[in-house]
Amino acid sequence: MARIGVLALQGDFREHIHTLRALGAVAHPVRLPRELDGVDGLIIPGGESTVMGKLMVEYGLDQPVRDLIAVGTPTWGTCAGLILLSRATDNALAGQPLLAALDVRTRRNAFGPQRASFEADLPVPALGDPPFHAVFIRGPAVLSVGADVEVLARLENLRHTSESNESTGQGTIVAVRQGHLLGTAFHPEVTGDPRFHEYFLGMVRGARAEQQM
């Protein structure tokens, strides 16, 4: 049975834990480094990326999380979590810590402020049909990706104004995977559709199987 830690310093960690448990995983909140011991996977939820990043440093979690990622532990960042995983972000606030693990460049609040939050049906081939109903709440966008990053989903109607977005003409990149790292610009945990969580648990099972070989 997969054991998943969910970073619980700030943000919507409870919804992730509820969804994971409904799928049969063992899920628990992570607030201290010792609570990372023995996890098979880690989720960094949505929230406020600057606050979450600074709290990670204050609680001594930043380096232990980097160490987990370095040894191949599947890690998923949603919304703010995607920003924290990114190697770079265009408009970070002063003092924004980043884990700098996922080879993407992101932009905070790419679709506007809280009142500009919206929902969209996204084709996600990795999840099959039907399209995934995605909820964007002050979401980031992925402006560019490294050679090893797989684009899982794009938002067809561009809603942000960055002129440097690599995906212009093809749709804004909003979900990516790079090996054992997963990033989504939206909030799968609030939709009632567990397919992204199932996809992540599949990544966890795959990583465990590789370790046993």
pLDDT digit string (tens) for 31-45? 999 999 999 999 999
Q: According to the model, what pLDDT value does residue 157 have?
A: 63
Annotated catalytic residue within 15, 16, 180, 187 = 187
Q: According to the model, what pLDDT value does residue 160 have?
A: 43
Q: According to the model, what pLDDT value does residue 96 have?
A: 80
DSSP class of residue 189 equals: G
Mind listing the pLDDT tens digit for each residue in 167-182?
445 799 999 999 999 9
- Report how far Cα 35 is from the mean position of its chain's Cα atoms: 20
pLDDT band, residue 17 (cuts 50/70/90): very high
Mind listing the pLDDT tens digit for each residue in 48-102?
888 999 999 999 999 999 999 999 999 999 999 999 999 998 877 767 889 999 9
Q: According to the model, what pLDDT value does residue 162 have?
A: 42
- Can you read off the two tokens belonging to residue 130? 């039907």
What φ, ψ does residue 186 adopt, rounded to 5°? Answer: -120, -170
Closest CA to 50 of 6, 105, 94, 19: 94
Provide the 10 A C-beta neighbour count for residue 70: 9
Mind listing the pLDDT tens digit for each residue in 116-132?
789 999 999 999 999 99
Q: According to the model, what pLDDT value does residue 1 have?
A: 84
Give the pairing type, strands 41-44 and 75-78: parallel
Mind listing the pLDDT tens digit for each residue in 133-180?
999 998 999 999 999 999 999 998 644 444 334 444 579 999 999 999
- Can you read off the two tokens belonging to residue 61? 């979690």
Annotated catalytic residue within 15, 16, 180, 189 = 189
| Active-site residue flag, 18 | no
| Active-site residue flag, 198 | no
Provide the 10 A C-beta neighbour count for residue 80: 27
Q: What domains can you pick out in the chain, each with its CATH number?
A: 3-212 (3.40.50.880)
- Can you read off the two tokens belonging to residue 36? 């990372």
CA distances from 15 to 86, 187, 209, 210 (A): 23, 10, 27, 29
152 backbone φψ class: left, alpha, beta (φ>0; ψ -120 to 50): alpha
Annotated catalytic residue within 15, 79, 180, 197 = 79
| Active-site residue flag, 35 | no
Q: What is the pTM of this model?
A: 0.92
Instruction: Give me the amino acid identity at 96.
Output: Q
Distance CA 158, CA 113 (A): 16
